[in-house]
Amino acid sequence: MKKNSLFLSLLMLVMISLSPATSFASEFNFAVTTEIPGNQIDKSKTYFNLLVNPGEKQTLSIKLRNDTDKDVVIEPQIHSATTNMNGVVEYGKTDSNPDKSLKYNLADILTTTKEVTIPAKSEKKLEMKLSAPTDEFEGLIAGGITLIEKQSEADKKSSKSEGLSIENKYAYVVGVTLQQNKTEVNQDLKLNGVKAGQVNARNAILAELQNPTPTYLNQFEIIEAKVTKKGETKTLFETDKQHMQVAPNTNFKFPIPLDGASLESGKYTLHLKAKSSKEAWEFSEDFEIKANEAKAFNEKDVSIPEKEMNYLLVIIIGIVLLVLALFIIILLKRKKDDKNKGSGSE
């Protein structure tokens, strides 16, 4: 029997480096060259690092080259920067909602066409219209331009004819940062709540951290967190991570894994310390796990062996077996007594 499988391979190459302006990989059918404009702050960068004026309009260009023997269709997407729970900044499409502190969404001020076709053995220029905010703003507006190759209908039909549903998507992500001045913005980090949850079907305590400022929180020396019972000092769960980065005006859930342990209802306290390249923070927040909440997560946790047997059921079974054993002992004793009485009467 043929099995239908879905393989989604999304390779995100964030072009924020000192590498040459042209990028190409063997997995791709197209090459990308960013055309650096005159208002680029650091011309050694291959992403758009622009100094803009209020209300300024500008056209940004990316040169796309196709060295293959067939046309290549590219689908450009524009998104604001986000931060995932591993402390990695992402510039492509994500499922997370914009943070409440985000004043300007890059997709609202930088626009382009939905598709661009690069003819075989040719080059094509992708143009994007930038309309800088009319109001003055501090810090950075950060995001990225994702360039995804669209799968052709012929490739889709070929996959289906083989009994497979294969969708390979390769993408470049060209970073974009906009600023009106070079004044540094003070860093800040907030803890906006703690709750029980899961990561990859495994129990965890999730601390929602927020960067409410329009600047990157770079190179955290460490973020360390531990969970205790409320009013107690014994550490129940703990974790730490280093070298994390948080994008401007974003939030993310920092997980403290339970490593196979069950969630138990009760009141707890999260103790969290964080230190970036410039600042340090310390938080302490109480939270509660409800009984029904713990039960629901424990039933879904794939790392709890056999879902941990119900101890009440074990006790009940033990009592039943004990009563049954006593009943058998009493029954055997009575038979023995009756037999002895019968022998004595003879």
Model pTM? 0.78
pLDDT at 2: 39
Of the candidates 130, 154, 179, which is a domain's last residue?
Answer: 179
Under 8 Å between Cβ of 19 and 46: yes
Question: What is the number of other CB atoms lying within 10 angstroms of the CB of residue 144?
Answer: 29
For 341, phi and psi rounded to 5 degrees? Answer: -65, -40
Q: How far apart are CA 82 and CA 98, in angstroms?
A: 8
Under 8 Å between Cβ of 251 and 213: no
Domain of 48, CATH number, reads: 2.60.40.10
Residues 281 and 201 reside in one and the same domain:
yes
pLDDT at 62: 98
Residues 171 and 267 reside in one and the same domain:
no
Under 8 Å between Cβ of 51 and 19: no
Kindly list the distances between the CA atom of residue 153 and the CA atoms of 69, 85, 258, in Å, as whole numbers in the listed order: 16, 36, 46
Residue 166 domain-assigned (yes or no): yes
Q: How far apart are CA 10 and CA 167, in angstroms?
A: 10
Residue 255 domain-assigned (yes or no): yes
Residues 125 and 205 reside in one and the same domain:
no
Q: How far apart are CA 121 and CA 105, in angstroms?
A: 36
Strand partners, 273: 224, 282
- 77-106: per-residue pLDDT in tens? 999 999 999 999 999 888 888 999 999 999
285: containing domain = 190-303
Q: Where are the beta strands (DSSP E) in the chain?
A: 6-14, 22-23, 31-35, 48-51, 57-66, 72-80, 82-83, 89-90, 110-111, 116-118, 122-131, 141-149, 165-179, 190-198, 203-211, 222-229, 235-241, 250-257, 266-275, 280-289
Residues 251 and 144 reside in one and the same domain:
no
Residues 28 and 155 reside in one and the same domain:
yes
Of the candidates 117, 150, 179, which is a domain's last residue?
Answer: 179
pLDDT at 15: 37
DSSP state of 225: E
Residue 185 domain-assigned (yes or no): no
Residue 343 domain-assigned (yes or no): no
Return the structure tokens found at 325: 């054993």
Under 8 Å between Cβ of 245 and 218: yes
Residues 149 and 225 reside in one and the same domain:
no
Q: How far apart are CA 237 and CA 24, in angstroms?
A: 44
Residue 127 domain-assigned (yes or no): yes
Residue 342 domain-assigned (yes or no): no
Residues 295 and 309 reside in one and the same domain:
no
- Per the structure, the count of domains in the chain is 3
Q: How far apart are CA 153 and CA 5, in angstroms?
A: 18
Residues 116 and 208 reside in one and the same domain:
no
pLDDT at 220: 87
Residue 292 domain-assigned (yes or no): yes
pLDDT at 325: 87
Residues 157 and 36 reside in one and the same domain:
yes
- 264-297: per-residue pLDDT in tens? 999 999 999 999 988 999 999 999 999 999 999 9
Residues 227 and 107 reside in one and the same domain:
no
Under 8 Å between Cβ of 271 and 230: no
Q: Looking at the chain, how many residues does it have?
A: 346
Of the candidates 120, 149, 179, which is a domain's last residue?
Answer: 179
Residues 139 and 199 reside in one and the same domain:
no
Q: How far apart are CA 326 and CA 323, in angstroms?
A: 5
User: Closest Cα to residue 172, out of 106, 105, 92, 110?
Assistant: 92
| Below-50 pLDDT ranges, the chain | 1-25, 307-308
Q: How far apart are CA 142 and CA 250, in angstroms?
A: 11
- 221-241: per-residue pLDDT in tens? 899 999 999 999 999 999 999
pLDDT at 257: 97
| Burial class of 186 by CB neighbour count within 10 A (0 to 12, 13 to 18, 19+) | exposed
Residue 1 domain-assigned (yes or no): no
Residues 27 and 171 reside in one and the same domain:
yes
